[in-house]
Chains A and B, each alone.
Chain A
Amino acid sequence: MTTKNNKFKVIGTRPIRHDGTDKVTGRAQYGADFSMPRMLSGKILRSPHAHAKIISIDTSSAEKIHGVEAIITGKDLPETANSDGEDRKVTLGELSTDLKYLREGIMATEKAVFKGQPIAAVAATNVHIAEEACKAIKISYEVLDAVITAPEAMKANAPIIQEDLRTTELGEKLNSQTNIAEHLQDKLGDVDKGFDESDIVIEREFNTSTVHQGYIEPHNCVAHWRDDGRIHIWNTTQGPFNVRDATAEVLNVSLSAVKLTPLEIGGGFGGKFEPYLEPVAAILSKKTGRPVKIVMTRSEELEATGPTPGSNIRVKIGATKEGKLVAAEAVLKYEAGAFPGSPVAAAAACVFAPYNIPNQSVDGYDVLVNKTKTAAYRAPGATNAEFASETIIDELAHKLNIDPIEFRLMNASNEGTRATDGTKFHNIGLTEVLEAMKNDPHYKSDLSKPKTQNKIRGRGVAVGFWMNAGLQSSVNLALNQDGTVNLTEGSPDIGGSRTSISMQAAEVLGIKAEDVHPSVVDTDSIGYTFGTGGSRTTFATGWAAYEAAKDLKNKMIERAALIWDVDSNLVSMNDGVLNTNGSKNKSMTFKELAIEMNGSGGPIMGQGTVDPKGVGKSFAGLIVDIELDTETGKTQILKVTCVQDCGKAIHPSYVEGQMQGGTVQGIGWALNEEYYMDRNAKMSNNSLLDYRMPTSLDLPMINTVIVEVPNEGHPFGVRGVGEVNIVAPPAAIANAISDAAKIRMEVLPMNPQAVLKTINENNRKL
């Protein structure tokens, strides 16, 4: 359902997506579907140890295998130091990283720092030969002690993962060896004074496991290092320009030497921004003069791409007996993986964002562990942190005997509320989300009764916050003589964004969504466009389409003025019809002008580029009913309603889809998913059988309520919708478990073992 009337003609409707037919017939070409003549298959040999010195690599036997065309090791990647001997930095979209870390992650030189880290790679005439060759490469290692949780890695005697790492302590570099890459801190008001003024204070410590995005399509690429020096890459990526730039940095070539053609993408959720395979395939291609294709296996995906971090979180919140939040404190220890860069800064910005709390203190630690380097996953950092804070908010509400939604409404962030970092919120829709939750038939209904004796039921609520991103996008529009428009853009379409972008152009031009033909093109064929992530695509690339459409419209008005021989100020275009008033009273349709285009002055194109600042921050809430089996500890989701402020839903079906998908990823994170690490820091459950993501049978329908508080920072009011919906589910489910079993969960996942353990501990205390 949507909550407001629609004043638009195209926006808010539900056209069939432009790429739909190709995707339901198997014709759509995804990365792994692409192949070329004379193409070789590549395979990466990976470290079997989580932490080990590489003593020697012997490729001689592997080289003799018939069909093996090239073998490379870490030494084949270019040096990362500049001519002064300083390590180069590389900007990857929003973040800057040390190039040496990026390179080591792609292929190790001296030391392996996580299980699955690439050590060597083979190109052969088929993938089976490449696999045989990998097995024939002899590597000797000196195995070192590994450390896999942030609290362990922060201890003084912990094994050191990166010998040259020094802590950035509140902006200053320290000078001793450490696994703590950064300690950051945000403070607001006086937190000690705030706790003194509180009548009730609750403090808990939470631990959450590493979880994976779990996109169904593994990473893949084909690279061809051509004779003219250009490197052409076909792959699956969220960020064609991001991966182009990073690949060029690693290969030490000019960024425009790389041409990246993004093929259809089978899910990403933040995990497909990294250049894992592209530099390897490119170097193998250079060595052989032939295109090289590499496709990851599922175990490579789980062990060696970028999941979201496990974390250790301590949260303390104080309130008055009237129910006013007064003070909040958090210490966030996030696993970066084996190289710096966890999303702990984002977590710090999110942990208390839903509430007006005058006194706050948040400490964040970015901590190296012997696991694969983490990457973005849907509102990265927020879910862990808000699982902790939203659990305690719920407990405060219950102890104060205030309805949990009412308690949140009493303390909700609003216009002008100060966030943890002191900035003020503007134009946000949390109160509207909470009101919609309170008034939803789901929340007003009575909780149904269990049918058997060992089952108990509970209801929980929680809200989530996420910042969303803006960043750069480009769109070109070209008018066709039949009155349709070709739209070219650089945002890979993960969930219907070709259509939500085209609809914004169509709205401006007064034509149908179906009369826009969108194409996602390669990095040679469109202006810079940051990747599909940060809930930014419909917001920013959609805005670029709006600007391009305005440009096209102005040019069509000028052309009509030329044809009618009137001043262009006297021509207007509304609902796809051009008119001139005054002495000559004429009109022509969009299509009629298109037919005359080539005979009246030539082609007409529009262009739009944006770097928007008016990013709309977003809130979503979840109401969930669960049934808990007290014998097995298993939690079943009975009923679930996701409420989200979307600003303006361009294509409501695909907005609902984001809400449903994010909710279910949150349910998987809450109940099942985890990296189960064995004693040797190796993942025991590296398949989709044992890394258990939700199936259709685990779930009910996912109800959605779209709330529309227009974002003043976007011409149509759009807020990003992709991410925030994953944040609330773990806390909402924990709160439902608490409602049912009168226990407070402090771990993710809340699988049967964890729930039974908590019930037993609770029984012992009674």
Chain B
Amino acid sequence: MSKKIHVKTTINSEEVEFLCEPRQSLLECLRDIVGLTGSKEGCNDGNCGACTVNLDGRIVDSCLVFGVEVDGKEVNTIEGVAYKDELHPIQKAFLENAALQCGICTPGFIVASKALLERNPNPTEKDVRFWLAGNLCRCTGYDKIVRAVLDAAEKMRVN
């Protein structure tokens, strides 16, 4: 076993320190060391998007980032999307539009959608489809997910 490395980072606005092996991915660190299991492993090779997190303002597949790379950086995961007991408008829109079935891809879609709406508050259907093309969903056929994101965008613009 290789020597463990000390990592000091910010996760969902809280300072977090952990020890990890250099070969451990950020996804593995989040799930197995920090205890945040909301980011899911669907493929572990960057093709499904279920492990999407926000790293210093960019969305990344956390299975493709090493844990040691986030030292000194800011990580935001699905666990940080709701504000205390208040769901984010995107989360509400996913519920109201029945935009999830099994729910395993949902955390990745919500983290990715949030990043889209922060950049583009008024996306077209095509914008949403393009932005979310890195997140696979096998249950919904994407229809209700796209509608939920457009619905959330509209509600966020009004507020």
Interface pair A701/B79, CB less than 8 Å apart = no
* B42 CB–A CB distance under 8 Å: yes
Query: How close is A671's CB to chain B, nearest CB, in angstroms?
Result: 14
Query: How close is B95's CB to chain A, nearest CB, in angstroms?
Result: 4
* A381 CB–B CB distance under 8 Å: no
Q: Which residues of B contact A295 (CB under 8 A)?
A: 41
Q: Which residues of A contact B128 (CB under 8 A)?
A: 696
Q: Which of B21, B45, B133, B143 contacts A695 (CB 8 A)?
A: B133
Q: Which residues of A contact B145 (CB under 8 A)?
A: 696
- Bound Cα distance A664, B37 (Å): 28
Query: How close is B155's CB to chain A, nearest CB, in angstroms?
Result: 15
User: If A20-B100, A24-B95, A28-B103 touch, does A298 touch B43 (CB 8 Å cutoff)?
Assistant: yes
Q: Which residues of A contact B77 (CB under 8 A)?
A: 26
User: If A298-B43, A664-B141 touch, does A17 touch B78 (CB 8 Å cutoff)?
Assistant: no
Query: How close is A308's CB to chain B, nearest CB, in angstroms?
Result: 14
- Bound Cα distance A660, B50 (Å): 20
Interface pair B101/A496, CB less than 8 Å apart = yes
In the complex, chain A residues 659-702 whose Cβ is within 8 Å of any chain B Cβ = 660-661, 663-665, 687-689, 693-697, 699, 701-702
Interface pair B98/A26, CB less than 8 Å apart = no
Q: Which residues of A contact B8 (CB under 8 A)?
A: none
* A16 CB–B CB distance under 8 Å: yes
- Bound Cα distance A35, B38 (Å): 14
Interface pair B48/A267, CB less than 8 Å apart = no
Question: Contact string, B33-70, partner A, CB cutoff 8 A, digits 1/0?
Answer: 00011111111110110100000000000000000000
* B11 CB–A CB distance under 8 Å: no
Interface pair A265/B101, CB less than 8 Å apart = no
Query: How close is B89's CB to chain A, nearest CB, in angstroms?
Result: 11
Name the residue of chain B whose CB is nearest to the CB of A295: B41
Interface pair B138/A216, CB less than 8 Å apart = yes
Interface pair B91/A24, CB less than 8 Å apart = yes
Interface pair B81/A298, CB less than 8 Å apart = no
Interface pair A661/B140, CB less than 8 Å apart = yes
- Bound Cα distance A687, B45 (Å): 8
* A30 CB–B CB distance under 8 Å: yes
In the complex, chain B residues 10-38 whose Cβ is within 8 Å of any chain A Cβ = 21, 23, 31-32, 36-38
- Bound Cα distance A10, B51 (Å): 36
Q: Point out which of B45, B95, B96, B104 has the most chain A C-beta atoms below 10 A from its C-beta.
A: B104
- Bound Cα distance A35, B107 (Å): 20
* A444 CB–B CB distance under 8 Å: no
* B158 CB–A CB distance under 8 Å: no
Query: How close is A342's CB to chain B, nearest CB, in angstroms?
Result: 22
In the complex, chain A residues 87-143 whose Cβ is within 8 Å of any chain B Cβ = 128-129
Name the residue of chain A whose CB is nearest to the CB of B24: A128
Interface pair A14/B98, CB less than 8 Å apart = yes
Query: How close is B146's CB to chain A, nearest CB, in angstroms?
Result: 6
Interface pair B141/A663, CB less than 8 Å apart = yes
Interface pair B100/A494, CB less than 8 Å apart = no
In the complex, chain A residues 631-655 whose Cβ is within 8 Å of any chain B Cβ = 653-654
Interface pair A661/B48, CB less than 8 Å apart = no
Interface pair A661/B41, CB less than 8 Å apart = no
Q: Point out which of A16, A213, A697 has the most chain B C-beta atoms below 10 A from its C-beta.
A: A697
Interface pair A24/B110, CB less than 8 Å apart = yes
Interface pair B104/A266, CB less than 8 Å apart = yes
Q: How large is the interface on B (under 10, 10 to 19, 20 to 34, 35 or more residues)?
A: 35 or more
Q: Which residues of B contact A17 (CB under 8 A)?
A: 95, 98
Query: How close is A341's CB to chain B, nearest CB, in angstroms?
Result: 24
Q: Which residues of A contact B94 (CB under 8 A)?
A: 20, 24
Name the residue of chain B whose CB is nearest to the CB of A34: B37
Interface pair A216/B104, CB less than 8 Å apart = yes
Query: How close is B93's CB to chain A, nearest CB, in angstroms?
Result: 9
Name the residue of chain B whose CB is nearest to the CB of A26: B38
Q: Point out which of B50, B139, B145 has the most chain A C-beta atoms below 10 A from its C-beta.
A: B139
In the complex, chain B residues 102-153 whose Cβ is within 8 Å of any chain A Cβ = 102-107, 110, 125, 128-130, 132-147
Q: Which of B45, B50, B129, B139 contacts A697 (CB 8 A)?
A: B129
- Bound Cα distance A591, B136 (Å): 44
Interface pair A660/B38, CB less than 8 Å apart = no
Q: Which of A128, A687, A689, A701 contacts B146 (CB 8 A)?
A: A701
Query: How close is A451's CB to chain B, nearest CB, in angstroms?
Result: 15
Q: Which of B47, B91, B138 contacts A267 (CB 8 A)?
A: B138
Interface pair B98/A653, CB less than 8 Å apart = yes
- Bound Cα distance A653, B23 (Å): 43
* B156 CB–A CB distance under 8 Å: no
* A33 CB–B CB distance under 8 Å: yes
Name the residue of chain A whose CB is nearest to the CB of B47: A688
* A627 CB–B CB distance under 8 Å: no
Query: How close is A496's CB to chain B, nearest CB, in angstroms?
Result: 7
Question: Contact string, A2-34, partner B, CB cutoff 8 A, digits 1/0?
Answer: 000000000000101101110111111110110
Name the residue of chain B whose CB is nearest to the CB of A697: B133
Q: Which residues of B contact A665 (CB under 8 A)?
A: 138, 141
* A151 CB–B CB distance under 8 Å: no
Interface pair A216/B133, CB less than 8 Å apart = no
In the complex, chain A residues 691-731 whose Cβ is within 8 Å of any chain B Cβ = 693-697, 699, 701-702
* A289 CB–B CB distance under 8 Å: no
- Bound Cα distance A151, B62 (Å): 44
Q: Which of B91, B104, B143 contacts A25 (CB 8 A)?
A: B91
Interface pair B139/A128, CB less than 8 Å apart = no
Name the residue of chain A whose CB is nearest to the CB of B88: A24
Q: Which of B42, B87, B101, B136 contacts A657 (CB 8 A)?
A: B101
Interface pair A26/B37, CB less than 8 Å apart = yes
Name the residue of chain B whose CB is nearest to the CB of A640: B141
Query: How close is B74's CB to chain A, nearest CB, in angstroms?
Result: 18
Q: Which residues of A contact B5 (CB under 8 A)?
A: none
* A269 CB–B CB distance under 8 Å: yes
Q: Which of A26, A267, A701, A702 contacts B102 (CB 8 A)?
A: A267
- Bound Cα distance A147, B105 (Å): 36
Interface pair B143/A496, CB less than 8 Å apart = no
Interface pair B101/A695, CB less than 8 Å apart = no
Which residues from chain B sit less than 8 Å from chain A, CB to CB? 1, 21, 23, 31-32, 36-45, 47-48, 50, 77-79, 81-82, 87, 91, 94-98, 100-107, 110, 125, 128-130, 132-147
List 20 interface pairs A-B (beta carbons < 8 Å), by A numbering.
A17-B98, A23-B106, A26-B38, A27-B79, A128-B23, A129-B1, A215-B102, A216-B42, A218-B41, A264-B102, A269-B138, A494-B101, A494-B139, A656-B98, A657-B140, A660-B141, A696-B128, A696-B129, A696-B146, A699-B142
Closest 10 CB pairs of A and B: A26-B38, A266-B104, A664-B141, A23-B103, A26-B78, A653-B98, A495-B101, A660-B141, A688-B47, A33-B37
Which residues from chain A sit less than 8 Å from chain B, CB to CB? 14, 16-17, 19-21, 23-30, 32-33, 35, 66-67, 128-129, 213-218, 264-269, 295, 297-298, 494-496, 653-654, 656-658, 660-661, 663-665, 687-689, 693-697, 699, 701-702
